[in-house]
Chains A and B, each alone.
Chain A
């Protein structure tokens, strides 16, 4: 290392001489920075910019290092000037010297306008190897995509992709596989695209397994068969597919927070390409085939899929114009398979039902059917339903009760057995870069589909307490107002005439409003408390049962205080001629002959709150802001509860429906875009505060 210091002093002199016409004595210009010895112990680790050689040092005869540029898996890269003033990049090979050098030697005389030129291989006094390369001044593709997170428009994407593909094709023609294609290796040198870092990294698996300096990003471009030790040119095609996707959309198709997660997606998940326009979609889908033999076989083929040819111009620059065929090549009508990553954990009955509903709604929404038959069908169904309600309703409730019992049993069973993952796991050799045990893999693949949701949850958890309190208070206000409005509406819906004297309906209205507010506030409060994590649903249900008990007591007390006669026999109801008369067939309604006891109140409310996962209705990450299905299901549950535990009707059911409606209206809800923003801002915060 001392040798380096003296070298550096010489270097200072030399570089001075060629940099500027001298106006001052030589001694004066000797940089004093050489007091700083090269810090061999400060190898770059995890992103910090510490380089072995300081500015002005001269480890390699004839070149003066000016600054560090970056570091890769095999060593550091420096910007240096030759004694004559030629700008070069010096790559210091610090690992697998012999093998890396053999690889570089193969590439030393390759010439292509879109490849970063290799000038020479040199060895320093210590016997360490250096690759002398062309210095590329411009931005790399990674920096450009960082600035434009939504990707580039198709024409510009082609302007980038064609020269990249041409250079990779040239490498393949010369029997060389790049193996490390990624945006950080692709540069825009004053309008000319250049690929660097070829001929290196022969030992991907070795360096990946042992290399702590490697970032997760490296795994984003790795074809699945790399795990088996297969390094054919197909892995470059795969990486080109990933690159094309990233250029177009700004993101890689397989994202994850750990290398294991990303590798698992490369092995099992299908890329989600719905947002990608043709002909890119098909081209990417064919390039990302898991089986290398079924993948697009050559770069030329890939370019042909895009409707551009490699030979259109040898030197493509970013200023060239290109046209893209707007139709898909070959079997374009084959839509790429959808993601199988999101395995279905709904129960089979639910799935069958949803399937049936979907097919019906598909038929319903079909444009070929005109309005008239639709109205006819709707009217016929309604009439059939109303006339047969007498036997349909109890049957329906029985079925619903049976289904709930089944659901409960299934959930408990799944909970107990912790069923193994259904996702098929591709076998790969123990030489895989990251060796995972079977158990780990199973856990990984189970975890996989939830990670996005989990990240969103984590982002929610990061919202400061005061903001969350603010949002909760806002929700409370909205819910109070909407509760009053909805209670009034419910009153009318329930057949109470508002024209009647105030005294006849005001107590009922008051009771409904108070109960709706109390119920929705409890749900909102608990939902806010529980939103940062997914938590144990059974514990939460238990807590909800407690809340339900409390609400039951409040309901009983409020009813008594308001001197409400239950079952309500106010004049307003007697005069009503509403649909609820039809429900008044058998079962629960007649069985209430006097006001329900406090214990009935408690049981009914506890059951209604314990049976459903109410906090999900207040979750900011729920699927839609207001789901009529959820309200319907909630009311149905309430009906089932009331069937077994007689309660005042229809007000019990209306109260539950109103609560569900109010909760969903007043609880905050993030759209998909807002969730993405939230997640990203949280990630940025996490990264900057780290």
Chain B
């Protein structure tokens, strides 16, 4: 898979930073194939980690609602060294190299999206609380199965793909970049979304770091 031949990034960035007030910062990835590797200049990976791992360490590919990890270097799933692409299931711990440990979560019953979290002490670049592997929808809200768990919110806010870009859906009135909208709205590459009890920002990142 050659990343440079991916979709034109100016129109629909596949990598975004999602900043949720009072909750955290997240790396939002919309591409079905995610490359994980070391954060070095021009390393060209989707998830750059400041840790002891290869520049291109592993692919995580989504096929339908299944996720498969494809090792390019030393990868262990649940402690077992992987030789070939292996399916991931909710709760898996994946060790990359000597010390980087990721947890894989796919909790929401109605969405094929998954969440990667760094369990070990390293950080991604830019720093995030979790990496969201977005299939069709990404659900922010108070319930623990949501991709972004936001205590104190009254209801879910759904980001979803439509055409080339991202849209947002939330019952009732809210604001996108200061403009009042109702129920749903398309989202620009960089934007702020503010509702009665929530506020978050999307910031585009380069297609790969």
Contact = CB atoms under 8 A, between A and B. Distances in A.
A32 B19 contact: no
A48 B196 contact: yes
Task: Label chain B's interface by main secondary structure.
Answer: loop
Interface size on A, as a range, is 20 to 34
B118 to A, nearest CB: 10
A49 B22 contact: yes
A23 interface: yes
A24 B190 CA distance: 15
B194 to A, nearest CB: 8
A69 B22 CA distance: 4
A66 B197 CA distance: 18
A123 to B, nearest CB: 24
A49 B197 contact: yes
Contacts of A48: 152, 196-197
B86 to A, nearest CB: 28
Contacts of B62: none
A50 B203 CA distance: 19
Interface string B20-55: 111111000000000000000110000000000000
B14 interface: no
Interface string B181-209: 00000001111101011111101111101
Contacts of A69: 22
B152 A47 contact: yes
Interface in A18-32: 19-24, 28-29, 31-32
B197 A56 contact: no
A19 B205 contact: yes
Interface string A41-83: 0000001111100111000000000111110000000010100
B9 interface: yes
A68 B22 contact: yes
Contact of B201 (A67, A81, A87, A190): A67
B206 A55 contact: no
Interface size on B, as a range, is 35 or more
A48 B22 CA distance: 9
Interface in A59-113: 66-70, 79, 81, 87
Nearest to B10: A28
Nearest to A191: B121
A681 interface: no
A202 to B, nearest CB: 26
B198 to A, nearest CB: 7
Nearest to B150: A49
A581 B178 CA distance: 91
B199 A50 contact: yes
Contacts of A56: 201, 203
B201 A33 contact: yes
Contacts of B97: none
The listed residue with most B CB atoms (<10 A of its CB), out of A23, A28, A33, is A33
B177 interface: yes
Nearest to B176: A36
B189 A32 contact: yes
B89 interface: no
Contacts of A66: 19, 25
Contact of A23 (B20, B189, B207): B207
Nearest to A19: B126
A257 B154 CA distance: 22
A48 B196 CA distance: 8
Contacts of A31: 190, 203-204
A83 to B, nearest CB: 14
A20 B206 contact: yes
Interface in B106-127: 121, 125-127
A571 to B, nearest CB: 72
Contacts of B9: 23-24
Contacts of A47: 152, 197
A22 B206 contact: yes
A313 to B, nearest CB: 19
A137 interface: yes
Interface in A409-429: none
Contacts of B24: 67
B129 interface: yes
A35 B178 contact: yes
A55 B192 contact: yes
14 contacts: A31-B190, A33-B190, A36-B178, A47-B197, A49-B22, A49-B198, A50-B199, A54-B192, A54-B201, A55-B203, A69-B22, A79-B25, A87-B127, A688-B154
The 10 closest A-B pairs by CB, nearest first: A55-B201, A49-B22, A67-B19, A68-B21, A31-B190, A32-B190, A33-B192, A55-B19, A19-B126, A36-B192
Given A20-B206, A36-B192, 18 more contacts: A23-B9, A23-B206, A23-B207, A24-B206, A28-B10, A31-B204, A33-B177, A33-B191, A33-B201, A36-B177, A49-B22, A50-B199, A55-B19, A67-B19, A67-B21, A67-B200, A67-B201, A87-B127
Interface of A: 19-24, 28-29, 31-33, 35-37, 47-51, 54-56, 66-70, 79, 81, 87, 137, 190, 688
